Amino acid sequence: MAHHLLESNPNTIHWGHLDAAISPKLTVNSGDLVVIDTLSGGRGDLGGDLSFVRANHRQIIENVMPIDGPHILTGPIAIRGAEPGDTLEVKIVEIELTENWGYNLIRPGAGVLPEEFPHASHRILPIDRQSKTTKLPWGVELPLDPFFGVLAVAPAPDKGRVSSVPPGEFGGNIDNKELRVGSSLFLPIFVAGANFSAGDGHAVQGDGEIDVTALETCLKGSFQLILHKRPINDPPLDFPRAITNSHYISMGFDANLNVAAQQASRRMLDWLVSITGWNREEAYVFCSLACDLHITQMVNRNRGVHAMVRRELIP
């Protein structure tokens, strides 16, 4: 297993969008470990003050124009031998907080309660990397639980350039806080090489991401990128799924929350039938008793729902 490092600079990031036409910045073999440095925050997100950001972050802000979305994404990274129809397993090996600050924004017209909070609001909050806590100005101390909001392969070429905001079949802005160290995210592949990118570091976030942002920050992630070739007679994976240390997780993304819940539920039924031999009705009954539906996020145009089943319950 080879080890690689991809730093963030104006030549290794794409800001606000995903596109199959973006050329890879690094090519690796299946099973290699890649350390990816990611940055979060444009000039407006940071209140116009760049005095506290790293030189490479400032260089990106001053030289790269965001297109379609707010997320600074590092990559893409190509995996040799990956072809459309295969699956990329992104095993999250380590997540490191790299800054002593994070930010939270309220954007007018966004969030779960836009009518109640129509104003713009901006906060820079301290991050204590040693204790892994942040303290809110009104005195509440929160433990940190870092994860990457955006983990994505390139979308299908016929989609062209897509915004980094709504998640989709390619992954993207999933904002699922269950994707911690030890988890594996499985993404369907749509282009040769898969072309994986990461970004949107979150120091802590509640399910729902109610005001439209988490505690956004810069993270360094260690990922093992594993290619799973599609068996000839098997259908390809069509949507992201995950396996954590404790759970199987299926996902749904749609502008309608009910549709997203139905998607996540159907995909969990499909998964359970395939790995247990149960019929669909048996899986449906099991899920009503032992599967939890969580709202992933409510604020990324496509709302997210994830279905969680404890791995210990599956024979």
Averaged in consecutive runs of 10 residues, what is the pLDDT profile of the chain (315 residues)? 97 98 98 98 95 97 98 98 98 98 96 97 97 98 98 98 98 98 98 98 98 98 98 94 98 98 98 97 98 98 98 96
Cβ within 8 Å of residue 194, ≥6 positions away: 78, 79, 82, 86, 88, 153, 154, 187, 225, 227
User: Could you tell me if 223 and 271 lie in one domain?
Assistant: no
Question: For 174, phi and psi rounded to 5 degrees?
Answer: -70, -40
- CB count within 10 Å of CB 270 equals 16
The span from the CA of 194 to the CA of 81, in Å, is: 9
Q: What angle do CA 169, 248, 216 make, to 5 degrees?
A: 60
**220 with 259, same domain?**
no
**Count of domains forming the chain:** 2
User: What is the reported pLDDT for 25?
Assistant: 98
CATH code for the domain in which residue 275 is found: 3.10.28.20
Residue that finishes a domain, picked among 168, 194, 228: 228
The domain in which residue 307 lies consists of 246-313
Strand 241-243 with 247-254, pairing: antiparallel
pLDDT of residue 1: 86
Judgement on whether residues 303 and 171 belong to the same structural domain of the protein: no
User: What pLDDT, on a 0 to 100 scale, did the predictor assign at position 202?
Assistant: 98
My answer on whether 101 and 160 are in the same domain is yes
Same domain assignment for residues 214 and 101: yes
Q: For residues 222 and 100, state if they share a domain.
A: yes
Please identify, among 228, 255, 290, the residue that sits at the C-terminal boundary of a domain.
228
218 plus 254 within the same structural domain: no
- pLDDT at site 39: 98
The pLDDT value given to residue 40: 98
Identify the pLDDT of residue 183: 98
Tell me if 235 is assigned to some domain: no
Please tell me the predicted confidence (pLDDT) of residue 219: 98
Are the beta carbons of 212 and 107 closer than 8 angstroms? yes
- The answer to whether position 151 is within a domain reads yes
Residue 259 confidence (pLDDT): 98
Residue 308 shares a structural domain with residue 185: no
In the listed set 202, 228, 254, which residue is the last one of a domain according to the structure?
A: 228
Q: Which residues of 167-195 are buried (b: 16+ CB within 10 A; e: fewer)?
A: bbbbbbbbbbbbbeeebbbbbbbbbbbbb
What CATH number corresponds to the domain at position 107? 2.60.120.580
Judged on CB neighbours under 10 Å (0-12, 13-18, 19+), 35 is middle
Distance CA 45, CA 25 (A): 26
Do 205 and 271 lie in one domain? The reply is no
Establish if 238 belongs to a structural domain.
no
Closest CA to 264 of 254, 274, 279, 275: 254
Is 239 a member of any domain? Answer: no
Question: What per-residue confidence (pLDDT) applies to 233?
Answer: 87
> The tokens of 47 are what?
């209140």
